[in-house]
Copies of this chain bind each other. A is one copy, B any other.
């Protein structure tokens, strides 16, 4: 719909879009989340960290300290690789790692995009969990991957099925969220982690380990990351790891400063630096300096605070689900993170159910968009991170009624 004077011919923008742009789609969730922002709706839909836990006073102190200490350098152009003290802090978490193995990115989403950009050619096979993080699918999609779904169960990716896939299909990349996965909340078992790392190494497939929630374990024991396992198998040499690790401060500190990182072997980081330079020159230096102020004392305290709160909320939601949902509904019991996953009896469709849930004042995310290759019509993602006990009680009750209504 263009209106023009006779002096300029109308512009047909659609005809000028790249193939890449044509592969991009409007996020179903994005459109849907707009509906859930009504104040009368209890929303378990968004993946928002609890804002009442944000360390606002510390952020204020840090912002002022950074301006005092660095002066104009806090708001001048910075280096593409990122603020060195922050990269040093990140590298120091893993023996053998140096700042040269760390690239700061503007939120882990940027890491996914840049890694897609430097790794995925049109038609390249990318192995993904079924279901997986929708935002990763969105990041990779413009680059034209061919997704192959990896079946998952309560312990994460089925590694026997993975081996079958690897034998049959030459793949470029495996994308996985081993800890408290988005959307399922599931955690990949230690045995499967080892097997996944070995199998992918054997078949020459790079692994992108996305770990935004790893520090937020509120039950059970921490497991080594895929990256740590690969590093161990490579004799501690980061150059020998075929696992690329994506970490973030969005879920442990705050998301709105957009600070995250990628750690990987030099050849990956070198190319990532080039990609990043073309993409946005560098992540805001002021924000990186603020985060650096916080990682020492505030971060560990925040992690404890957030874990405790999310643990209580998860327990609460599970208890209410047991109380209010009808028989035949399955759900996951996460050991950390922000999400749990609900599977309704076959034949129900959570997309169709959504308007009815909204009528009852509750929102969730229908599961279908999390499947790269379709499926999951009877699934939904619930987030407990940003809900009070009262909201969990009445929201889950309303959702139970919605499900019961659909079963009648």
A284 touches B281 (CB 8 A): no
B113 touches A142 (CB 8 A): no
Query: Which residues of chain B are near A201, meaning CB under 8 Å?
Result: 8-9, 11
Kindly state whether residue A164 has any CB partner on chain B within 8 Å.
Answer: no
CB-CB contacts of A95-116 with B at 8 A, as 1s and 0s?
Answer: 0000000000111011001000
Kindly state whether residue A159 has any CB partner on chain B within 8 Å.
Answer: no
B110 touches A256 (CB 8 A): no
Q: Report the Cα distance A206→B63, complex, angstroms.
A: 41
Partner-binding segment picked from A86-94, A149-157, A237-245, A304-312: A237-245
Partner of A20 from B16, B21, B117 at Cβ < 8 Å:
B117
Q: Report the Cα distance A66→B118, complex, angstroms.
A: 37
Q: Min CB distance, A175 to chain B, in Å?
A: 14
Q: Report the Cα distance A176→B46, complex, angstroms.
A: 40
Partner-binding segment picked from A50-58, A349-357, A371-379: A50-58
B277 touches A279 (CB 8 A): no
Q: Min CB distance, A188 to chain B, in Å?
A: 19
Q: Report the Cα distance A77→B254, complex, angstroms.
A: 8
Kindly state whether residue A298 has any CB partner on chain B within 8 Å.
Answer: no
Query: Which residues of chain B are near A48, meaning CB under 8 Å?
Result: 76-77
B202 touches A9 (CB 8 A): yes
Query: Which residues of chain B are near A76, meaning CB under 8 Å?
Result: 48-49, 51, 54, 254-256
Known: A233-B8, A235-B4, A274-B24. A284 touches B267 (CB 8 A): no
Kindly state whether residue A74 has any CB partner on chain B within 8 Å.
Answer: yes
Q: Report the Cα distance A286→B277, complex, angstroms.
A: 22
B109 touches A280 (CB 8 A): yes
Q: Report the Cα distance A138→B117, complex, angstroms.
A: 14
B24 touches A271 (CB 8 A): yes
B256 touches A75 (CB 8 A): yes
Query: Which residues of chain B are near A1, meaning CB under 8 Å?
Result: 239
B283 touches A258 (CB 8 A): yes
Kindly state whether residue A73 has any CB partner on chain B within 8 Å.
Answer: yes
Partner of A16 from B9, B119, B281 at Cβ < 8 Å:
B119
Closest B residue to A13 using CB positions: B267
B75 touches A59 (CB 8 A): yes
Closest B residue to A281 using CB positions: B109
Q: How many residues of A contact B (CB 8 A)?
A: 100
Query: Which residues of chain B are near A71, meaning CB under 8 Å?
Result: 51, 56
Partner of A19 from B9, B21, B121 at Cβ < 8 Å:
B121
Closest B residue to A10 using CB positions: B240
Closest B residue to A80 using CB positions: B30
Kindly state whether residue A361 has any CB partner on chain B within 8 Å.
Answer: no
Q: Report the Cα distance A278→B135, complex, angstroms.
A: 7
Query: Which residues of chain B are near A46, meaning CB under 8 Å?
Result: 77
- Among A11, A121, A283, chain B packs the most CB atoms within 10 A around the CB of A11
Closest B residue to A203 using CB positions: B9
A25 touches B274 (CB 8 A): yes
Closest B residue to A287 using CB positions: B284
Kindly state whether residue A143 has any CB partner on chain B within 8 Å.
Answer: yes
Query: Which residues of chain B are near A18, meaning CB under 8 Å?
Result: 117-121, 124, 143
Known: A60-B67, A283-B258. A21 touches B275 (CB 8 A): yes
- Among A106, A201, A233, chain B packs the most CB atoms within 10 A around the CB of A106
Q: Report the Cα distance A201→B121, complex, angstroms.
A: 33
B63 touches A51 (CB 8 A): no
Closest B residue to A52 using CB positions: B72
Q: Report the Cα distance A81→B17, complex, angstroms.
A: 19
- Sampled A-B contacts (14; CB under 8 Å): A2-B237, A5-B234, A8-B198, A9-B204, A11-B204, A20-B143, A21-B118, A27-B274, A56-B71, A59-B75, A75-B257, A106-B106, A110-B279, A142-B278
